[in-house]
């Protein structure tokens, strides 16, 4: 199993979620993060003082999937998430040692298989 | 002293005063005193009412901010502040003259620009400045209604221009018709505190504005699905509703322009009853319709009751108020859905339904429920037709002028921010700030 | 007329009046004018006070929302809105008649249902409708106190039914006893603005309600540990407290029902002094007790001072006010702890302590501090006993009727949501919404 | 008297009046009545104004909380509550006597401590207690200004001590000079509602306080860079601004101390115009300067206009108000930047600029714009010099005494929390609580 | 070392924390996440428009532990976190390459050992 | 590639970010977490009831970097983040299987290389 950790633009979330659902992936975990990278934040004025907003709101989408499904998912996500402008984000892929479904105690791939 | 006695009095006055003059210096003071006292009572009543109406600006700001998203919250409160700030100046310099200057053809006032001429033709019992502040806060109420309907996507500069125009011209003209001695008032049109003059003008302007802007990004899916975009703070929206309700006790009872008028308590209870019934009706109706009592609709329901009773609060009785409020509470729910789902006009806070639809509705209801002239009290159909005429004329005038106005704005500075800007939020894009610096917000 | 002219005037009065008598029809108008003027002054005073008291609804909503969790915030503001909306109608139709209708046996009013009969026996100096709106906002205050104590676990339908019942019956009866010509008023019971009539009724109802509901899930561990469940917005709670304090200036001074009453300033300063001392005392007391000045308790302390002075605000002097406020500020802290830790009754906002306990306390203190009849001013023990009787009778009546009421509700629609629903939050479960759509909330 | 009785009345009038003429005890009552009525009108006007001014405390709390960080929000509202609670008591017992007691040398009042003596020398038309509550809420306004400038780093105990001292001594002395019959009032100093007496005192105290405290950790980088520390809720800040504006309608028009004064409407419109122009000017000025209209500065701009017009609201005309407000709106922006970037004094909410700078500015402008004595209206330079003297004397007195006060506090209980405590937030450290228990906050 | 990443129902957090403390595990890191899976969100009405709440609030609990302790922990967590209804959540297990205690600079297992 | 997952005191974030930028690392992802460990929370009183604040606010900083850069980064972070008092936090290091830059589709090390 692999974990896909995708750092994305917040406004893309809904669309990606829909696309994944259509591919049959319903399980995922989402969190708010702040990203820093080549995408430059804005310099704003607050009461006359400059303020550098260099931590930009991003979405982290975590998906644990079977090894065989990684490429298909990566392609789908890239397709939707890409705007071509700096700041589109990254996908990091990690090995997963094991997975357990709390409700049933199933382990391994069956823990992430839906019925 | 009654007027009928005046002639007789004058005839004997000379004689009397000669006799009592040297003996009785305080006597004349005493009359002055009485007049001064009644004037003072009217004056403080009107001023305190004006202050309450001013405070409604805070109510609007909170309701509109609460019902929209956090990323646009600074922008919406800024709009609420600025429409009042711009409107106050515009109304002082020009609007007041158009509304209350000497009548020309029943259509518009023509004197008193920059407050230069006198306004004796108004025969005010209160000082002119007190009247001006009272009218200013009313004008600002009409203006501020629109910001909610156009929230989350309107360019700030466009809104500022709109603000000036409505306070300068669009509102004062309707105001002149109904309250400044214009054709509607001559006809016998009853809009005691402004269901039509204030609220419908704001509401119809909101309708045209929201329609011309188009919906917020994400409001309607390509497949026609209507997506809800929940507001960011129901507590602030509720606070705003309470503030509005509170301010309405200045709006309606204050419109007597006299604290000596015994009806002020009557008007207050009518106002309150309609608001309560509006909330009750909206709650029950949404409970049945959606299986759960909808909080934001119930808040709208209270406001709907308030808007609807504003025209007739001095003309109908408490039962009439209850019925009008109750119907308004149901109507607002239907109207919100209709505008949202059928017309596909995106009005984030329900301003069109609350102020436009329920304002017109309440105005027309006076034709049924007015205890002196209403159809249900044997007054025949005349009042009803007059009411309908006033509501229709206001609708046409407002839609037409606002359409021209927004067309000009669209063609020059532009009406709407870009989609990218909308996604990022107006706070950052338009003002370089965020409303909630310390809070983690959802995507 | 200056006083120096008085002597001269008296000397010539007879002569003059004979001469001018027949020529001077305005004379009678002049009397009318004076009466009209004094009526108007009383009327605007009562109305503006009523508006301020109305605004306390916003204060309650903010305090209660602020002191409870974000997941129940829509529900709590909705309850605050609806108890007013339901109560306004219930009180108009029935409650007002029970409270102010013609007395039967000192126990209940029996005329004027649906406002049908006249209320001449009240000998009001203000129009009936003004009196009605003033009394309506008082009734709603009693009702709204309970929502805080029963917050975060009560079924919405149950709360709506309770609201109707307290405004319809439970409050008006006590109101009749003390203010409507009932047995307590005949006895000489002093509860000027309602420490007992309004606040204790609300507070004791809250006590029974919270006890019957049981504590919120997680409030008490199995091992008996008491867990704090902090509120979600101290800023809103503070805002609410300021609003309540503001509104109290209508509540107490307005209860003269007359703007001509010279005591209104005196009452205002007493009110303010007690509130200030309540806050000071609670701050210092918690500072000593918990090593840090507790914000939420200090907010409660200010309210405790306000509640406690409400009975005696026209009867005690400023020193008495300061002492009563100070003691109330300490008492409320002790009471909150006692109810929370000893009685293990879960009152999220401290409503029982603030309104019930401090209301009764303030009522009894009148027996000590009333400058005319109080024990400390040589008036003997009589007033004290009367005060205690009134407080006790109200306690018994309220507890008994509320117990029956909630038992019926429990047995029919049910009183409490399921544990699962409570965990998820009443906003989603009861209203299908969340109060803070854009914010990330803690688990 | 009903119309139907008129005929009958006229027939018997002559007869009756002859008979009752000499027997006419009501005659005297009638005078009393008139006096009572005018007193009552003044009384309710002053009281209602006082209530509005009290409500400004809520406004200050919201503005200050909104403009500072979430981790200090409980602390700031607590400070706002306690300066009022402490100040109310301190002013009653001592401050009021120093301000309005019998004058000694034009410098200080010397009678009436603990409200013991009489205050007949004030020749009040309203009851003393009404005057006291009005003056108390003014004193508290001066006190509360400081909390914003010293926010997010001041020890709570230090703030409590400061609160007592300013209400006890520092404010009442200046108050005596200008309003209590002291040297400034004798000189002809015009500060109608307190641009100098209230706002500058608060503003200059804030200046010294913020300077002595030093900036918040992280405000200035070692390399001299100025870092913005945005507030946590622009919606609350906007709400607070609306509340303050609302309360100012009590502050300025109420300062006539008489509802019979025909100027009250005039004062209200002047107040409103200056505020509106302040907001407009600040918006446009920041739009040009920073390319975007700054929300928090525009809110400050409205307040700047209000502060600046407070001195002259009864002396200048509407055009003068507009100009003063406009200049104040620009001045406040320049001043905020100057204090922040040049002086490197960290004033999180802009209190020094709004209240100190614009207060002094507005006071001096009276010398130019007063229609009776101002330079621009041909009154010569005299008034201008008097105004400058008053502003300067207040500056010196306040800075000197506040410096001594804070030096003593620093040397005893300490003025500032440790850096560690500051980082963690005053809510947890000073009060053991957090303001927003349920929300996830940013680092 | 292994990292246990547990997606849990929010209301279970306190109890699980207590249980882990009793087993002697005091170190852990918690964050708010939004989960999507077989558990269906509610369809609510907001002002008459349907609204699908399909991102449900969950808690992510991260624990870095020695390999030998994994099973004991998994059992404890499952026991408490299981309600038997869909949406109980998952445990994902990852390999940890190294751990460092910032305060002392200790590395490896001793970085997560308490004293 | 490795992922450094650093649990830090919130107030250190700015300084660490600056230091990393100076080392040439601009890419990172930050999130709010709540930490539990040997650092004891405070016992406060809320309305007279004791309240244990044992979940303390921490910052999680995630950095995906080349293997060769790990030690340099660890040293830099430790230097700034260390206060010496309990609660300074941890750095956990994980293997990263792959990384993808969404904007360009680049994979592996070049996905995290800046230009
Ligand atoms: N080395 C990294 N480690 C962890 N997260 C990173 C790294 N580099 C970038 N990110 C995340 O990816 C987001 C986008 O990166 P950025 O360099 O701005 O644009 P792009 O991916 O288009 O080159 C950042 O905001 C940050 O959250
Ligand atoms: N493949 C996955 N990758 C990441 N997180 C997942 C995955 N599947 C489920 N989750 C998380 O686990 C939670 C529970 O999953 P769900 O399918 O609803 O119930 P259950 O685990 O009982 O089958 C989800 O809300 C989501 O946060
Ligand atoms: N075993 C662990 N797994 C995950 N996170 C941990 C673990 N131990 C500690 N942490 C995180 O590190 C933070 C600091 O740990 P703590 O034991 O308090 O201090 P120190 O690291 O100085 O020994 C905790 O608040 C928690 O977020």
Task: Tell whether the model's pLDDT for residue F23 goes beyond 80.
Answer: yes
CA distance E46 to chain C (A): 7
Q: Whole-angstrom Cα distance, residue C438 to residue C441?
A: 9
Query: Is any atom of ligand 2 closer than 6 Å to the C-beta of E82?
Result: no
Which residue of chain D comes nearest to B79, CA vs CA? D295
What is the pLDDT, as a whole number, of residue C440? Answer: 85
Distance A96 CA to ligand 2 centre (A): 15
CB contact under 8 A, C297 and F47: yes
Does any ligand 2 atom lie closer than 6 A to the CB of residue E78?
no
- Residue among F6, F32, F89 to mutate when testing ligand 3 (max atoms within 8 A of CB): F89
Please answer whether residues C81 and B297 qualify as being in contact, where contact means their C-beta atoms are separated by less than 8 angstroms.
no
Tell me how far apart the alpha carbons of residues D371 and D383 are, in angstroms, rounded to a whole number.
Answer: 11
Tell me the pTM.
Answer: 0.93
**Tokens read off for A22:** 């259509």
Is there an atom of ligand 3 within 6 Å of E64 CB? yes
Task: Please tell me the total number of residues recorded for chain F in this structure.
Answer: 115
Record: contact F47-C294, CB cut-off 8 A: yes
E29 CA distance to ligand 3 centroid (A)? Answer: 7
Q: Is residue B22 included in any domain, yes or no? A: no
Question: Residue D74 has which token pair?
Answer: 């409980």
Ligand nearest the Cα atom of residue A82: 1
F37 lines ligand 1 (CB under 6 A): no
Query: What are the structural domain ranges in chain F?
Result: 2-111
pLDDT of D30: 59
Residue nearest to atom 25 of ligand 2 (CA): E35
Chains that touch B (3 or more CB pairs under 8 A): A, C, D, E
Cross-strand pairs, F57: F34
Whether A101 lines ligand 2, by a CB cut-off of 6 Å, is yes
Q: Are residues E30 and F33, on separate chains, in Cβ contact within 8 Å?
A: yes
Q: Does ligand 1 have an atom closer than 6 angstroms to the CB of A39?
A: yes
Report how many domains make up chain D. Answer: 1
> Does D55 contact C at CB distance below 8 Å?
yes
Q: C113 touching D, CB under 8 A? A: no
Q: Is C441 on the interface with E (CB under 8 A)?
A: yes
Ligand nearest to the CA of A39: 1
Interface test with B, best of A9, A29, A44 (most B CBs within 10 A): A44
**Cβ separation F92–E28 shorter than 8 A:** no
Q: Given a cut of 60, is residue C148 above it in pLDDT?
A: yes
Which chains pack against C, by 3+ Cβ pairs within 8 A?
A: B, D, E, F
* C-alpha of residue F4 to centroid of ligand 3, in Å: 15
Q: Which atom of ligand 1 is nearest to the CA of F64?
A: 3
Question: What is the predicted pLDDT for the residue at E38?
Answer: 82
| Centroid of ligand 3 to alpha carbon of F16 (angstroms) | 19
Classify burial at F84, counting beta carbons within 10 Å of its beta carbon; exposed 0-12, middle 13-18, buried 19 or more.
exposed
Residue E27 Cβ < 6 Å to ligand 3: yes
Kindly state whether residue B9 falls inside one of the protein's structural domains. no
Q: What is the 3-state secondary structure (H, E, C) of chain B?
A: CCHHHHHHHHHHHHHHHHHHHCCCHHHHHHHHHHHHHHHHHHHHHHHHHHHHHHHHHHHHHHHHHHCCCHHHHHHHHHHHHHHHHHHHHHHHHHHHHHHHCCEECCCEECCCHHHCCCCHHHCCCCCHHHHHHHHHHHHHHHHHHHHHHCCCCECHHHHHHHHHHHHHHHHHHHHHHHHCCCHHHHHCCCCCCCHHHHHHHHHHHHHHHHHHHCCCCCCECCCCCECCCCCCCHHHHHHHHHHHHHHHHHHCHHHHCCCCCCCHHHHHHHHHHHHHHHHHHHHHHHHHHHCCCCHHHHHHHHHHHHHHHHHHCCCCCHHHHHHHHHHHHHHHHHHHHHHHHHCCCCCCCCHHHHHHHHHHHHHHHHHHHCCCCCHHHCCCCHHHHHHHHHHHHHHHHHHHHHHHHHHHHHHCCCCECCHHHHHHCHHHHHHCCCCCCCECECC
Ligand 2 atom closest to the CA of A29, numbered from 1? 27
- Shortest Cα–Cα distance, A22 to chain B (Å): 16
Residue D25 has pLDDT above 50, yes or no: no
What's the mean pLDDT in C416-443? 91
Contact residues on chain C for B9, CB-CB shorter than 8 A: 25-26
Q: What is the pLDDT along chain B (443 residues), one digit of tens a residue?
A: 444 444 344 434 444 444 444 344 444 556 667 889 999 999 999 999 999 999 999 999 999 999 999 999 999 999 999 999 999 999 999 999 999 999 999 999 999 999 998 899 999 999 999 999 999 999 999 999 999 999 999 999 999 999 999 999 999 999 999 999 999 999 999 999 999 999 999 999 999 999 999 999 999 988 888 989 999 999 999 999 999 999 999 999 999 999 999 999 999 999 999 999 999 999 999 999 999 999 999 999 999 999 999 999 999 999 999 999 999 999 999 999 999 999 999 999 999 999 999 999 999 999 999 999 999 999 999 999 999 999 999 999 999 999 999 999 999 999 999 998 999 899 999 999 999 989 988 87
Is residue B432 less than 8 Å (CB to CB) from chain A? yes
**Closest CB to D283 among B37, B74, B82:** B82
Could you identify the residue written with the tokens 């119907």? B327
Interval B379-419: pLDDT, tens: 999 999 999 999 999 999 999 999 999 999 999 999 999 99
- Best mutation target among E6, E7, E10, E11 (most C Cβ atoms within 10 Å) is E11
Radius of gyration of the CA atoms of chain D, in A: 24
Smallest CA–CA distance, residue E66 to chain B, in Å, is: 33
Is the shortest distance between the CB of A40 and ligand 1 below 6 Å? no
Atom 20 of ligand 1, nearest CA residue:
A87
pLDDT tens-digit readout, C97-142? 999 999 999 999 999 999 998 899 999 999 999 999 999 999 999 9
- Confidence class of residue C29 from pLDDT cuts 50, 70 and 90? low
Residues A65-80: pLDDT tens digits?
999 999 999 999 999 9
CATH code, domain carrying B276: 1.10.3430.10
C-alpha distance from B210 to closest chain D C-alpha (Å): 23
Atom of ligand 3 nearest to the CA of E102: 21
What is the pLDDT averaged over residues D129-148? 97
Per-residue pLDDT at D288: 96
Query: B interface mutation test: which of A8, A10, A13, A35 has the most B CBs within 10 A?
Result: A10
D332 within domain boundaries:
yes
With CB atoms and an 8 Å threshold, state whether C71 touches D438.
yes
Asked if C441 has any chain D CB less than 8 Å from its own CB, the reply is yes
Which structural domain range is residue B329 located in?
Answer: 28-431
Whether residue B268 and residue C48 make contact (CB cut-off 8 A), yes or no, is no
E33 closest CA partner among F60, A43, C4, C330: F60
Whether residue D297 and residue A47 make contact (CB cut-off 8 A), yes or no, is yes
Q: Is A2 on the interface with E (CB under 8 A)?
A: no
Residue C327 covered by a domain: yes
Contacts of D442 in chain F (CB under 8 A): 32
**How many angstroms separate the alpha carbon of residue A28 from the centre of ligand 2?**
6
Q: Does A36 contact ligand 1 (Cβ within 6 A)?
A: yes
Residue with the smallest CA separation from ligand 1 atom 14 is A89
Q: What pLDDT does B30 receive?
A: 60
Query: What three-state secondary structure class fits D143?
Result: helix
Q: Which ligand is nearest to the CA of A111?
A: 2
Structure letter (DSSP) for residue D93: I
CATH level 2 (architecture), domain F2-111:
2-Layer Sandwich (3.30)
Q: Cβ(C257)–Cβ(C306) under 8 Å? A: no
Contact check, Cβ <8 Å, A98/E84: no
* Cβ <8 Å between F88 and E101: yes
pLDDT digits (tens, 9 = 90+) for B141-159: 999 999 999 999 999 999 9
Dihedral pair phi/psi, residue E3, rounded to 5°: -105, 130
Cross-chain Cβ contact B290/E48 below 8 Å:
yes
| Buried-exposed string C83-110: b where 16+ CB fall within 10 A, e elsewhere | bbbbbbbbbbebbbbbbbbbbeeeebbe
Query: Rounded mean pLDDT of D208-237?
Result: 94
> C442 C-alpha vs ligand 2 centroid, how far in Å?
19
pLDDT at D276: 98
């Amino acid at each position: 199993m692999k974990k896909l950790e995708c750092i994305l633009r917040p406004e893309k979330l809904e669309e990606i979620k829909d696309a994944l659902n259509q591919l049959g992936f319903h399980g995922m975990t989402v969190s708010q993060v702040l990203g820093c990278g080549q995408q430059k934040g804005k310099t704003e004025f607050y009461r006359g003082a400059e303020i550098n907003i260099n931590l930009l709101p991003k979405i982290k989408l975590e998906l644990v999937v079977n090894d065989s499904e990684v490429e298909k998912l990566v392609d789908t996500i890239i397709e939707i998430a890409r705007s071509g402008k700096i700041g589109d984000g990254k996908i990091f892929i990690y090995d997963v040692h094991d997975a357990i479904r709390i409700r049933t105690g199933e382990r391994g791939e069956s823990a992430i298989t839906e019925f | 002293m009654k007027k009928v006695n005046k002639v007789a009095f004058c005839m004997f006055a000379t004689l009397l005063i000669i006799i009592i003059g040297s003996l009785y210096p305080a006597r004349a003071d005493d009359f002055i005193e009485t007049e001064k006292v009644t004037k003072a009572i009217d004056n403080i009543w009107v001023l305190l009412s004006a202050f309450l109406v001013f405070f409604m600006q805070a109510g609007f700001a909170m309701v509109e901010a609460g019902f929209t998203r956090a990323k646009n919250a600074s922008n919406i409160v800024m709009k609420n502040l600025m429409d009042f700030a711009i409107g106050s100046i515009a109304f002082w310099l020009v609007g007041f003259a158009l509304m209350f200057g000497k009548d020309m053809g029943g259509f518009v006032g023509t004197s008193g620009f920059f407050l230069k001429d006198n306004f004796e033709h108004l025969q005010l019992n209160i000082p002119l400045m007190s009247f001006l502040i009272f009218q200013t806060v009313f004008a600002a109420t009409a203006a501020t209604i629109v910001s909610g309907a156009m929230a989350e996507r309107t360019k700030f500069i466009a809104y500022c221009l709109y603000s000036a125009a409505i306070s300068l011209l669009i509102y004062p003209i309707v105001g002149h018709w109904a309250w400044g001695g214009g054709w509607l008032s001559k006809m016998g049109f009853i809009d005691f505190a402004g269901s039509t003059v204030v609220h419908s003008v704001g509401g119809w302007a909101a309708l045209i504005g929201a329609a011309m802007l188009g919906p917020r990004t994400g409001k309607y899916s390509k497949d026609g699905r209507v997506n809800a975009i929940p507001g960011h703070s129901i507590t602030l929206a509720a606070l705003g509703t309470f503030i509005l309700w509170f301010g309405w006790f200045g709006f309606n009872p204050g419109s007597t322009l006299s604290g000596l008028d015994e009806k002020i308590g009557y008007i207050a209870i009518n106002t309150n009853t309609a608001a309560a019934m509006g909330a009750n009706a909206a709650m029950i109706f949404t409970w049945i319709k959606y299986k759960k009592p909808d909080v934001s609709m119930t808040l709208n329901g209270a406001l709907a009751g308030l808007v609807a009773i504003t025209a007739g609060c001095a003309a109908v009785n408490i039962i009439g108020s209850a019925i009008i409020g109750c119907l308004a509470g149901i109507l607002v729910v239907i109207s919100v859905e209709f505008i949202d789902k059928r017309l596909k006009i995106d009005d984030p806070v329900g301003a069109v339904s609350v102020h436009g639809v329920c304002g017109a509705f309440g105005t027309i209801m006076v034709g049924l429920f007015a205890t002196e002239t209403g159809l249900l009290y044997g007054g025949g159909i005349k009042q009803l037709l007059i009411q309908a005429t006033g509501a229709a004329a206001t609708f046409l005038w407002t839609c037409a002028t606002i359409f021209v106005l927004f067309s000009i704005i669209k063609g020059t500075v532009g009406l709407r921010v870009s989609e990218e800007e909308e996604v990022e939020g107006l706070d950052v894009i338009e003002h370089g700030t965020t409303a909630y610096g310390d809070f983690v917000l959802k995507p």
